[in-house]
Homo-oligomer: A and B are copies of this chain.
Amino acid sequence: METYTADQFNRCRTQLAPYVHRTPVMRSSQLDSLAGASLYFKCENFQRAGSYKIRGATNALLGLLEQGPVPAVVTHSSGNFAQALSLAARNVGIPAYIVMPSNAPEVKKEGVRAYGGKIRECKPTLEAREQESERVRLETGALFIHPSNDPMVLLGQGSACAELLEDVPGLAYVVAPVGGGGLLGGTSLAAAFSGTGCEAVGAEPRMVDDAYRSLQSGRIEGNTHTETVADGLRTVLGSYTFPVLRQYVKTIVRVEEAEIIRAMWLVWERMKIVIEPSSAVAVAGVLKDPERFRDRQVGIILSGGNVDLGRLPF
């Protein structure tokens, strides 16, 4: 596997800092009571473009710029990474092309346009996405950035956990949702590099528990169903993220759909903040496994807050 060093990680953090918010850490006595633990919520829902994805997108872009001129960047995504890369590219004055399936919700397209991203529509198949990305690359010289399976993306995502560990010394665990594995991978590296003994724990919808099964089987597994309410976690691990999880992550807690929705409701109602279902997965994971977390100090990465308010699951 790729080798990552604390020095490299810290260099990324320094480069990244001017482009991202240092998001606040929130507490909730009510959620603490429910969990029987002391919870520290890292609010990436307040991050620029509404999720932690701007961290990895920016880090990857800065990494490319160090190596030479970057005429443009391209990715295929209909989720948070699409907006994040659009904003990251605008911040450094580079065009971003976002390949999106023609049936992507209009609200997602508007989000991309609002951050200056150029949308290229394609048929809603993986093959069509990849063909269109390749076409953009040939036309414009754009460099491709993957939403999760990229060492620099992974390192960038870890900066959220690093900030949390600085702000809250003494965390026993940091819990992050796992989809493509960029956030959990980066989080586990940040925890390891911190030298504090803090352990990264993953949380995953049981309906798409490919990461859980991949750690069990020792190879990258897929999903047969992907209808989870946590739409950000439908993707699977990749060649860069899987080895990191295998080395640094011992535990992935799986949660049911009803538990995700309840956790989302609890955070909205008690903490008065808007989080997306994928973030609620991490909260549900902590509530699901009280023995593990009881009386400990536990960080939770609230990964994002981009939800369609007209289509809530409650």
Contacts and interface: CB of A to CB of B under 8 A. Distances in A.
A198 B265 CA distance: 38
A162 B273 CA distance: 24
A50 interface: yes
B46 A272 contact: yes
Contacts of A50: 272
A273 B46 CA distance: 9
Interface string A285-314: 000000000000000000001000110101
A4 interface: no
A268 B309 contact: yes
Contacts of A305: 272
Nearest to A30: B114
Interface residues of A, number: 17
Contacts of A265: 309
Number of this chain's copies in the complex: 2
A275 B273 CA distance: 9
A153 interface: no
A269 interface: yes
A5 to B, nearest CB: 34
Interface in A164-205: none
A274 interface: yes
A24 B25 CA distance: 12
A274 B271 CA distance: 8
A274 B312 CA distance: 14
A38 interface: no
Nearest to A46: B272
